[in-house]
Amino acid sequence: MSRLRKMPLPTVADLSFIWSDQSHRKLAGKLAAYVDRDYYLSTNPDVMSAGLDPTLHYVKYGWREGRDPSPSFSTQAYLAEHPELLHEQTNPLLHFLENAPAAEAEDTENDAELALVATELDRAFYTRTYGLSAEDDPVRHFCRDGWRAGYDPSPAFSTTHYLTTNVDIRNSGVNPFWHYLAAGREEGRSPKHEGGWRYEVLTRQQPLERMKEDWLRREAPPRLMSVDQIVKRVDQACDQDQVLISIGHDDYRSSAGGVQLCIALEAKAAAGRGVDYLSFYPWQSLPTLAAEEADPIIAIVANSDLLGHARMSKLVEAAKRLSLKAPHMVFHHLMGQHPERLVEFAHALGVTETFLWLHDNFTLCPNYALQRNNVAFCDAPAAGSTACMICVYGRERQAHQARVEQLFQTLDVHLLAPSKVALDYWKSRSALGAKSTKVHPHLRLRRRTAARGADPAERCRIAFVGLPAPHKGWPLFQELQRRFATDERYEFWHFSSEPTAAEMRHLPLFSSAEQPDAMAQALRDHQIDLVVHWASCRETFSFSTHEALAGGAYVVTNEGSGNVAAVVGRQKSGRVLPDEAAFWAWVQADGLLTLSEEARGRRAGQAVSLSYSRFTLDHLPLEAEIS
């Protein structure tokens, strides 16, 4: 085998491809410098005609199909020498690079380049965004492989944009970030598109079918139960006088999120009231409904214990033989589920009336946040309209709505909304016929007088709570932190199960059924003054907003944030601003400092606690003493 060499700069089309599968994305970054993209496309015309990224294709499929990443590496020959790699599902090129003698490696590092890049590369951002290990040097990784894979060295610099708009730099093959620091900045070259994160998302937008592909699990399916096994295990686990069957989109026992917390709290309430809790979620998570022709694998959890997995068709067969007493059904989320088979399952149990929660807007569109092309709130235009069809979700939405409508037509659905804002919006945008509708908040705030003295006003402490998602306002919070990173009047925090992607204090936690007040307590303990929740969608509820208020913080949001703005206005605990221009003007006028002082003053004489509901259990025909 000839000596491997690093390959020339990829094309702009290659760089603009985004990979949402983190494991493949990370591996593609490692191998990008060793895949000859021109060679791969010329020898694999099917990959070229499909418009696929050659490096990602090799990582995900090509090596398994015996394709070569470059003229200097034979995949089939290497696998013949190491047959165990196929069994272990280990990429042969990666194995070669990790086990090649030191002489095989090509030393192309430039000390001057490393030194300059090190002055401004955001190590925390780069390490966490691209999944580097603690042993990896982010500066060396970026200079060696990262920029060739389209990685960004910091939130303030877009590798793709710089190479796209500077053809001379692209053709020269030099490190674009190094060039920007060495000369480009003084030459007036732009480090990022003025459209910001929205432009980045749009340039890397994938078709919905490719998004679904990236969600697919890369592992063998679990062992499946037969109909007899389903009947035996479910009947043994559920022996109470009532059972609540909960339909969700993933494992509420291990996943963080608002819907998962609702299900976990509901399951806990059921256990305390003698009601069996039977939960179904898809083994294969999807960003849409399961395909009509599919027979999805469903995980079955009874009273928080996993009973096993089964095809949905087998569940329907088993339902006819189950001995469940007084079964009730609630739809918490339909993502990844097969609505037609769920209806069959309900009818097989003799269930005709069900509950459905409006946790988000998934009944209106597969994009539950109603984000057109994942960048802007679309306000749910008519399905099939031009305004809808310009979105990557548009075509899917037509079939999606028809399938959800069929569920509403074949079952009597009692709709439960966590806020009046959510219910009013749903009624204004949906033609679905619910048997009944009711507003039922997930929790309520309880205020009481509690003099405890003012907190020391050393700095204005500002936090972001929850997953760092664009539609929750993470990009704006990042920009706020960037602008005031060196201003000693401010301190920035991120409270989330996921690590932060910027230089700020991070506290890894999330609320759970066992500790539902964990987030509020953490905000209180760290004396957070303000929480920024700049949602670009109409929130139906918001646990983080209520947790912020319970933690003694005020919330900064915008007029389009749905129930967030409604709660902040009703509680008089924060600021609701019209748009981003108004936000930055307010910030420049020291609005953050003024509002933080107001928050400190209020929490000095008042305590706030959270009172959670029992969710669907509050609507079941239970015993009088627990109704």
Q: State how far Cα 338 lies from the chain centre.
A: 21
H/E stretch holding 287: none
pLDDT(320) > 80: yes
* Structure token pair of residue 599: 């928050």
Residues 6 or more apart whose CB falls under 8 angstroms from that of 13 comprise 51
pLDDT(236) > 60: yes
Torsions phi, psi of 353, nearest 5? Answer: -110, 130
pLDDT(622) > 80: no
Q: Per residue in 582-599, pLDDT tens?
A: 999 999 999 999 999 999
- How many other β-carbons are positioned within 10 Å of the β-carbon of residue 607? 15
How much is the pLDDT for 543?
A: 95
Report the C-alpha gap between 115 and 113 in whole angstroms. Answer: 5
Nearest residue to 178 (alpha-carbon basis) of 129, 109, 95, 235:
109
Q: Per residue in 113-141, pLDDT tens?
A: 999 999 999 888 888 778 788 888 999 99
Q: Which amino acid is at 396?
A: E
Long-range contact pairs involving 489-492 (C-beta distance under 8 Å, separation at least 24): 489/459, 489/460, 489/593, 490/459, 490/460, 490/461, 490/462, 490/592, 491/459, 491/460, 491/461, 491/462, 492/462, 492/463
Q: Nearest 5 degrees, angle CA 419-CA 421-CA 427? A: 105
Q: In what order do the strands lie in the sheet with 436-439?
A: 305-311, 297-302, 276-282, 243-247, 327-331, 353-357, 412-417, 436-439
Report the C-alpha gap between 169 and 175 in whole angstroms. Answer: 8
- How many other β-carbons are positioned within 10 Å of the β-carbon of residue 384? 13
Q: Per residue in 96-108, pLDDT tens?
A: 888 865 434 444 4
pLDDT(36) > 90: no
Q: At what angle do helices 92-99 and 22-31 cross, to 10 degrees?
A: 50
Residues 6 or more apart whose CB falls under 8 angstroms from that of 180 comprise 157, 162, 189, 191
pLDDT band for position 300 (50/70/90)? very high
Mean pLDDT of the residues in the chain: 88
H/E stretch holding 234: helix 227-237
How much is the pLDDT for 104?
A: 41
229-252 average pLDDT score: 96
Reduce the secondary structure of 136-198 to three states and give it as a string: CCHHHHHHHHHHHHCCCCECCECHHHHHHHCHHHHHHCCCHHHHHHHHHCCCCCCCCCCCHHH
* Structure token pair of residue 62: 């090509």
* Structure token pair of residue 302: 């009874």
Q: What is the pTM of this model?
A: 0.76
How much is the pLDDT for 25?
A: 67
